[in-house]
């Protein structure tokens, strides 16, 4: 006899195949979506001996909605490297983008990277989020402030728009 054969499952874990789902229960799907993005920011340094993470200018992070200790995805436009790490804030106004620890091996000073944070949302919330996107000049000054907007067309289909704030 199997050692788990005597375990009784609670009623809510048992599946009743004869019962149809209630029409009042909406099945929704959780999706991972972009919340903010620093697009084309240049790497200003790499510190292999630091504990890890990426150091960013708090002004840039706040404008894009990126929090300290938040995990971000980083895509190197020069090498194609893709990594995930967490954010720490550097000196305000410094325009810094410093990869630390193991991440320092994936980028070189001057490389253009894309840094994005994300959120898991219910599909029904897609139209209500408004991600903030910053694009950069070669000196890491902000070139453009953009937003993404999802809506519906007159036939109820999803639509996507890039909104310019500058």
Q: Catalytic residue at 159?
A: no
Four-residue CA torsion sign, 74, 77, 78, 81: positive
Is 53 an active-site residue?
Answer: yes
User: Which two structure tokens, joined as six digits, stand for 49?
Assistant: 């001996």
Catalytic residue among 86, 124, 149, 159: 86
- DSSP single-letter state for residue 157: -
User: Which among 22, 24, 50, 53 is annotated as catalytic?
Assistant: 53
Sign of the four-CA dihedral 68, 69, 75, 78: positive
115 bridge partner residues: 38, 74
**Residues catalogued as catalytic:** 53, 86
């Amino acid at each position: 006899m199997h050692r788990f054969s005597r375990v009784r499952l609670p009623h809510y874990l048992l599946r009743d195949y004869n019962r149809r789902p209630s029409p009042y229960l909406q099945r929704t799907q959780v999706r991972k979506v972009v919340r903010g993005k620093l697009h084309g920011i240049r790497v200003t340094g790499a510190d292999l001996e630091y504990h890890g993470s990426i150091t960013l200018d708090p002004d840039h992070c706040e404008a894009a909605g990126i929090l300290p200790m938040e995990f971000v995805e980083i895509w190197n436009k020069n090498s194609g490297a893709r990594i995930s790490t967490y954010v720490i804030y550097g000196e305000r106004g410094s325009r810094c983008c410093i990869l630390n620890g193991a991440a320092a091996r994936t980028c070189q000073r001057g490389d253009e990277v894309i840094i994005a944070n994300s959120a898991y949302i219910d599909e029904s919330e897609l139209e209500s989020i408004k991600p903030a996107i910053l694009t950069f000049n070669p000196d890491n000054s902000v070139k453009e402030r953009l937003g993404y907007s999802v809506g519906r067309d007159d036939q109820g289909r999803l639509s996507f728009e890039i909104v310019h704030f500058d």
